[in-house]
A = this chain, B = another copy of it.
Amino acid sequence: MLVLGGSVLIVGLWDLLAWLTGDERQKFAAIAQLSSAGIIGALGGGLFFFTRGGDDYLGRREALLLVGMSWLIGAALAALPFFLWAHLDPAVDPNHPFLRFIDCYFESMSGLTTTGASVLGTTPNDIESLPPGLLLWRATTHWMGGLGIVVLFVAVLPTLGVGGKKLFNFESTGPTKSGVKPRIRETARVLWLIYLGLTAVQTIALMICGMSLFDAICHTFATLATGGFSTRNASIGDPQFGPAIYIVITVFMLFAGVNFGLYYQLFRGKTSNVFRDPELRLYLTMLAIASIILSVNLINMPIHTTGGQYIGSASVGEAIQHGTFQAVSIQTTTGFVSADFNHWPFISQATLVTIMFFGGCAGSTGGGVKVIRVLIAFKVLLSSAERVFRPNAIRPVKIGKMAVDPDVRLDTVVYVLGIIVLSFVGGVLIMMFEDGRPKGDMLTCFTASVATLNNIGPGLHLVGATENFGDFSGLSKALMSLLMALGRIEVYAIFVLFVPRFWRTE
C-alpha cells in the first residue's frame, strides 16, 4: 500500500506541476490523485503502525494469502484516482464509465494484472479524452504490476517453495541457513535494476523514433509489463506512429515475454545456460512460426487500421509489419493492436487465439499458460500415448537435459486443463450475465473470458482490436476482474482463498 500510495503521489505531483504551468485538464486529475495518495498512504501507514512489532513469520499459507489479497485489494485502491476524478471534474460526460466504481476497478485490475482490457473507448469517453495524468497512472499500474509479478515469480515464490518452483530454470531452490529474506531481497534488487534498465533503454529508443517523452514513457510501461494500455484510441495503429516505432515495440515486447530469471543469470555472467534454455528456444520458435503464418496469410488481404482507415490490400511489407507485430503482441499477451484483426482471414485468427493461450515464458511479465507448460504438457501427451502400446518401457519426460518430476507432470497438465475449464465456465457465466445485452454473442463472451483470464486484453468480435469492454454489465466486469486476477497469479493464490480447508488451522 505504501508503494502504491507513493506511486500515486509521484504521478499526482507531476499533474500538479502540469496544472500550475498552465494545463487546465490536469487540475482534477491532480486533486484526485493527491487525495488518493492520502487515502492509500493513511491506510497503509495505519496498518504498518498497528501491526508493528507483530510476528513477521511468513509461511506458505501467509504468502499465498498475501499474494491473493494484494491483487484484489490493490486494484480497489488503484481505482481511486479514476473514480475520484470522474466525480470531481464537472466537465466529465454524465455517461463516463469511471463514474461507476466497478468500471474503475476493472480498469485498474486490468492495469495491475498487465491485461490491458479497457472500459474506455466510445466517444466522448474515449482514451484520448482522459487527462494525461490519468493516462500516465494507467500505464504506471501496468509497470508496477509487471515488476510485481516478476519479483513474485522469480524471487519470492521459488525461494518459499510455493507454486511452480520446479518450472523455473533458476538457481535458487529453497531456504538456506541464512534464511530466505536476504536472498529474496538480493534477487529482487537485481530484477528491479534490470527492469529499470530496460525501461530507460526503451523510452530513449521510442523518443529517437519520434515519440514525445510522455508517449514514450507510457508505451514503455505498457510494453515491458506486456500490458497493452496505449495513450491513443488507435493504439499503435495511430497514424503518427511509423514503422520504426513498430520495430522498437516488437523487440521490447519480445524481451518482456522472456523469463526474467534468464536476465538475472546474464547479469551474473552465466550466458551459456541462457541460450540453451529450452523454453526460450521454443518461445522464439513459436513467435517466428506465428509471425510467418500471419505475414504470409495477410499478403493481399484487406487491412483496416485500428484508426478506422481501410488501407487497401496489404503489400508484402505491410503484411510483415502487421503480421509480426500482432503475433508478438498477442503471444506475449501485451495486446497492443495495429490493425483490426476482426477483418483478418480465419487462419490468422485461429493462430492468434492459439498463441494467446500459449502466452509468454514463466517468470516473464507475459500471461497465458506459459510456454514451458505447453512444452511439458505436449511431451506428457506423447509419452502417455506411447505407454499404451509399450507399458513397460519407462522413458522419462525430459526438458532439455532434465527429467521432469512426476508431480510436476501432473500439476502441469492439471493447470492447462484447469485454465481451459475456467475459460469455458467464465464464458458461460458472461453469456448468462449478458443475455439480451449488446455484447451477448458467443464469440464475444468466450473470447472476453479467454482474453481476461490469460491477461491479453483484446479478444474477437465485439471485444476485438477496435472495441472495448465498456458495454458489459457490472456483473460481467466483476467476474472478468476476478478472472484477470486468477490468471495473473496462476489461479491457486486466489482460488485457495475460496477453499474452506485453506483457512482451517491444522
Give the residue of B381, B388, B431, B502 whose beta carbon is less than 8 angstroms from that of A389. B502
A406 touches B416 (CB 8 A): no
Do A60 and B410 contact each other (CB < 8 Å), given the known contacts A381-B418, A417-B417? no
Distance in angstroms between the alpha carbons of A417 and B380 in the assembled complex: 11
A396-415: which have CB < 8 Å to B? 406, 409-411, 413-415
Binary per-residue interface labels of chain A (437-458) against chain B in the complex, 1 for a CB within 8 Å, 0 otherwise: 0000011000000000000000
Nearest neighbor of A345 in chain B, beta-carbon distance = B435
A67 CB to nearest chain B CB (Å): 11
The answer to the question of A91 belonging to the interface, with a C-beta cut-off of 8 Å to chain B, is no
Q: Is A377 an interface residue (CB 8 A)?
A: yes
A150 to chain B, nearest CB (A): 20
Residue from the list B163, B386, B410 in contact with A501, Cβ < 8 A: B386
Which of A76-84, A315-323, A492-500 touches B?
A: A492-500
A499–B385 contact, CB under 8 A? yes
CA distance A327 to B495 in the complex (A): 31
A468-506: CB near B (< 8 Å → 1, else 0) gives 000000000000000000000000110110010110000
Choose from B384, B417, B502 the contact partner of A377 (Cβ within 8 Å): B417
Copies of this protein in the complex: 2
Quick check: is A346 within 8 A (CB to CB) of the other chain?
yes
Do B60 and A391 touch across chains, with their CB atoms under 8 A apart?
A: yes
Q: Is the CB of B492 within 8 A of A414?
A: no
CA distance A409 to B413 in the complex (A): 11
Residues of B within 8 A of A162 (CB): 388
Task: Give chain B nearest CB distance to A418 CB in angstroms.
Answer: 6
Q: Is A131 an interface residue (CB 8 A)?
A: no
A64 on the B face (CB < 8 A): yes
Q: Report yes or no: B388 in contact with A496, Cβ–Cβ below 8 A.
A: yes
Question: Could you list 5 examples of A-B contacts with CB < 8 Å?
Answer: A60-B391, A347-B432, A387-B411, A388-B496, A417-B417
Knowing A61-B389, A161-B391 are in contact, say whether A414-B499 is a contact too (CB < 8 A). no
Instruction: Tell me the nearest residue of chain B to A59, going by C-beta.
Output: B389
In-complex Cβ contact of A60 among B389, B409, B411 (8 A): B389
Asked if B410 and A380 make an inter-chain contact with CB atoms under 8 angstroms apart, the answer reads yes
A161 to B389: give the CA distance in the assembly, Å.
10
Which 9 A-B residue pairings sit nearest by Cβ, starting from the closest?
A: A388-B492, A384-B414, A417-B417, A413-B413, A350-B428, A389-B496, A61-B389, A410-B410, A346-B431
